[in-house]
Amino acid sequence: MYSLVPGAVLEGLAIAPHSEREFMLANGDVIRRRLATATFEYDGRRGDSMVVVGETGDDPLPGAATIEGFGLVLDPFRRELRPMSLPLKATCRDRSLALEHSVR
């Protein structure tokens, strides 16, 4: 879900943890890790995302929340990031404006 970034990398970027949460590992063990907010940039896209502050032995990993925040999705067959369509819920006002413009 969240990206995991080594603590030393975040420290070098002066990104400080702000909270702590529990996470469940694949084997069922529960661990606690600190969280921080980091700014990411990829292919001209920029955004903030929550990250898990990695400890010794943790592997860095880009998280789905970070990738989706860029409007991207991972294509597992081609092993590449691709743009995804970003749905936006229309409001009643938006619908009435669309109808108004289609009647003209």
Q: What is the pLDDT of residues 60-80, one digit of tens each?
A: 998 988 888 888 888 889 999
Q: What pLDDT sits at residue 60?
A: 94
pLDDT at 85: 80
If you compute the radius of gyration of the chain from its CA atoms, what whole number of angstroms results? 19
Q: How is residue 66 written in tokens?
A: 């970070």
Distance of alpha carbon 39 from alpha carbon 31, whole angstroms = 25
Mean pLDDT value of segment 80-101: 70
Question: CA–CA separation, 49 vs 30, rounded Å?
Answer: 23
**104 pLDDT more than 60:** no
Q: What percent of the chain has pLDDT over 70?
A: 84
Structure token pair of residue 58: 């943790």
- Domain boundaries defined on the chain: 3-103
Report pTM.
0.73
Q: What is the predicted pLDDT for the residue at 47?
A: 86
**Kindly report the CA angle at 58 between 38 and 74, in degrees rounded to 5?**
60
